[in-house]
Amino acid sequence: MKSILSVIIIVFSIHLNAQNYKTHKVKPDETIESIAKQYLVTPFDILALNPDAKNNFAVNTILIIPNSKVKNVAIESSSKEVIDYKKHKVKRKETLFGLSKKYNVNEAEIKKANPRLYSENLRRGDKIRIPRFKTVISKQTLSNTIKKYAVRPKEGKWRIAYKFGITVQELEDLNPNIKEVLQPGDVLNVPNIANNEEKAATEEFNYYEVLPKEGFYRLKVKLGLSQKEIENLNPGLVESGLKNGMVLKLPKDVEIASSDIDKDPITTDLRDNIVNTSTKRLAVLLPFKLHKIDLDSVAEAKAMMKSDRVLSTALDFHSGILMALDSAKSLGISTNLKVFDTQNRTSEVASIAGREDFSNYDVVIGPMMIKNFDRFASEVKDDAVPVFAPLTLPSKVSRNIYQTIPNKKILSQKMINYVKQDSTINQVYIISDQKHRAESNNLKKEFPNAKQLYSELTKEGKNKGKDAYFIYPVTFEELFKEGKNIVFLETDDVSFGSSIISLLNGLSTEDIQIILTTTNKSIAFESNDPDNNYHLSNLQFHYATINKKYDTDKKIGFVNEYKRKYGVSPSKYATRGFDLTLDILLRLSANEDGFDSLEENLETEYIENKFRYNKKTFGGYVNEAIYIVKYDNLKVIEVKE
């Protein structure tokens, strides 16, 4: 019997050798997928020859590996070598970005040739070295691992990664200089698999990169697809399971929510991470309108402060900035602050930008008003200095702009995602006036089983056919079910909002729980009705907001110090001035290379505001950190998600 088995093994071995099959001994942490990539075959090829490996895969298992179906082709590669250095004296308003374009080198190469630029800003009059390179072309045979691929129209990183069965990170590792946005004709390194092994990646589908710790439940919340639906679209997923960086094929009509909204943020206290204690140069542009104030008349100055809302806001914000500088100083961070009065005029903003070299500053905060901010941003776009929009949404978020206020779309999606994650909800309702039909229909797409109700139209008179801003109470009879009912109210009409809130409050009972929410907290929820806050508390009104109110019952150092210094409690503008400025100074002090080198998805939180900046394609940075709050016992408190 032993001799027969020996003959069988010998014959089988001869057959394998004749076919040039290989064997592989499984090492720790290896998977079928990683071994398949190593030998440029598919997992299915390995499982076909090793059927037991599907259920019995362990370290030291011997696998039979089939031939790869691709050819060994010599690949031409290029590398750069430094020839010498050109000396350059920095002129006014010159930046690293501008010099990199002028001399056709990247910013990292300039910094490498001038190491002090890792910790210092470029200054006028600096003498720096600009490296000059020569390109060396060589042909290499890289064990048949990669080949060149020309990007086709409408192809992005996700689609190409899916096509070649790799993660986006692996594609970027193969192409260290890959662009953020690919253009048709761009040439990339990709796995050298045979054409018939490439997955079809067409415009008929969407593609999505799996994030760390993402499971099927989280994908269902984000994408609205069940595990079975995802597995049916992605053969092999049943065997492999979800993996970080994996690219999935999805239906074309699936709208992928911003991944950065759904990521689990890393909340960090930067006070513990101070490494750069150099003096920070900070410029602030605010509309003080000093040209209109008679500084010799105290009474006139006080009267203007009371009557001019813009001036009052600017003064409050500035007081918060000064408090932040004091707090930073106690942490060992010194600041050189220069304040400019924009006079709330675009002409003055242009004049300031023309006479001041802002490339010498680490950060600029302001201007405060939209038109003035947009004008200033256009004037200093080549200075590469980070410019923060403190209280408004800029018209354009260009490459050096930081939008500190999350936009309405982010707030809306945050609220929608919060509701979707609640598995105890019995029914969702969407109530809106005629003006907000689009918002109602968008919510219906997010919650297909939701019931929609609209305000009535006027049936006669000169306003016939126009919104009457009411719903007949009989409409709500026996509408709500026992258990938890979520009601989205979409309106900015105070009378309509007040009537619906009052009506819902009367229908909420111990058995029928009605929870009110909205994607846009407008003035409709701020009625002068003294019972309004009671109704909102009873309905546990939830909404997304850019800031929360600090807890007056807690002792907060900033609040106490502000009261001691100014004799009043800080307004929301003073608190924002403090939060934003302290965050900027701490971020500058948390590393040696500026904001861009901070850990991605890093979230910070202070008194009433938090910040998590996400870089936009072709643009700058947008803060996507927001709160979910609710009315509870006549107070507005943060909801811990």
How does pLDDT run across 465-474, given as a tens digit for each residue?
A: 899 999 999 9
- What pLDDT was estimated at residue 540? 95
Condensed to tens digits (0 to 9), the pLDDT of residues 412-441 reads 999 999 998 887 888 999 999 999 999 999
- What pLDDT was estimated at residue 72? 43
Condensed to tens digits (0 to 9), the pLDDT of residues 239-277 reads 667 777 778 888 877 765 443 334 446 677 888 778 888
Mean pLDDT of 562-568: 93
Distance CA 236, CA 638 (A): 42
At 286, the pLDDT band (50, 70, 90 cuts) reads: very high
At residue 522, does pLDDT exceed 70?
Answer: yes
Q: Buried (b) or exposed (e) across 531-554, using 16+ Cβ within 10 A?
A: ebbebbbbbbbbbbbbbbbbeeee
- What pLDDT was estimated at residue 148? 85
- Mean pLDDT of all residues belonging to the chain: 83
- What pLDDT was estimated at residue 95? 85
Give yes or no for a contact between 235 and 187, defined as CB atoms under 8 angstroms apart: no
Residue percentage of the chain with pLDDT more than 70: 84
**478: CB partners within 8 A, 6+ apart:** none
Residue with tokens 């390109």: 135
Give yes or no for a contact between 432 and 439, defined as CB atoms under 8 angstroms apart: yes
Condensed to tens digits (0 to 9), the pLDDT of residues 569-625 reads 999 999 999 999 999 999 999 876 666 555 556 889 999 999 999 888 778 899 999
Mean pLDDT of 192-208: 71
At 232, the pLDDT band (50, 70, 90 cuts) reads: confident
At residue 297, does pLDDT exceed 70?
Answer: no
Helical (H) or strand (E) element with 379? helix 370-379
Give yes or no for a contact between 609 and 576, defined as CB atoms under 8 angstroms apart: yes
Angle, helices 572-589 vs 309-330, to 10°: value is 40
Amino acid identity of 555? K
Give yes or no for a contact between 587 and 352, defined as CB atoms under 8 angstroms apart: no
- What pLDDT was estimated at residue 73? 45
425-432 and 451-454 beta bridge pairing: parallel
- What pLDDT was estimated at residue 595? 62
Question: Which range among 61-65, 68-72, 171-175, 226-230 shows the weakest confidence by mean pLDDT?
Answer: 68-72
Condensed to tens digits (0 to 9), the pLDDT of residues 138-162 reads 544 444 467 788 888 778 887 888 8
- Residue count (the chain): 641
Of the two residues 15 and 636, the one the predictor is more confident about is 636
Residue with tokens 């991605």: 600
At residue 490, does pLDDT exceed 70?
Answer: yes
- What pLDDT was estimated at residue 114? 87
At residue 1, does pLDDT exceed 60?
Answer: no
Distance CA 125, CA 137 (A): 37
Query: Which tokens go with 518?
Result: 């909205």
Give yes or no for a contact between 91 and 167, defined as CB atoms under 8 angstroms apart: no
Amino acid identity of 425? I
Mean pLDDT of 381-395: 91
